[in-house]
Copies of this chain bind each other. A is one copy, B any other.
Amino acid sequence: MTGHAVSLSDIEALSLALDLHEPVGDHERDALKKLPVRSARIAAGKDIIRQGDRPTESCLLVEGILCRYKTLAQGQRQILSFHFPGEVPDLQSFHLHQMDHSLCALSDARLAYIPHSAITALLHDAPAMAAILWKATLVDASIFREWLAGVGRRSAPERMAHLFCELFVRMKLLGLVPGKRLHFPVTQTDLADALGLSLVHVNRTLQELRREGLISWIARDFVIEDWPRLKNFANFDPSYLHLRMPLPAEIA
* Chain A residues packing against B (C-beta within 8 Å): 22, 52, 68, 70, 72-74, 76-78, 80, 92, 95-96, 98, 100-101, 127, 130-131, 134-135, 137-142, 144-149, 151-154, 193, 195-196, 235, 239-240, 242
CA–CA, A146 to B139, complex, Å? 17
Q: A95-B135, A137-B137, A144-B145 are in contact. Are A152 and B100 (CB under 8 A)?
A: no
CA–CA, A100 to B195, complex, Å? 21
Contacts of A137 in B (CB 8 A): 134, 137-138, 141
Tally of this chain's copies: 2
Q: A144-B141, A239-B100 are in contact. Are A152 and B196 (CB under 8 A)?
A: yes
- Contact with A140, one of B141, B146, B148 (Cβ below 8 angstroms): B141
Contacts of A139 in B (CB 8 A): 96
State how many angstroms separate the Cβ of A77 from the closest Cβ of chain B: 7
CA–CA, A146 to B80, complex, Å? 9
13 A-B pairs, CB-CB below 8 angstroms? A76-B153, A78-B148, A80-B145, A80-B148, A92-B141, A96-B135, A96-B138, A98-B242, A100-B145, A100-B239, A134-B134, A151-B151, A153-B196
CA–CA, A115 to B179, complex, Å? 44
CB distance A149 to B72 under 8 Å?
yes
State how many angstroms separate the Cβ of A100 from the closest Cβ of chain B: 4
Contacts of A195 in B (CB 8 A): 152
Contacts of A151 in B (CB 8 A): 148, 151-152, 196
CA–CA, A80 to B152, complex, Å? 10
- Nearest B residue to A91 via CB reads B138
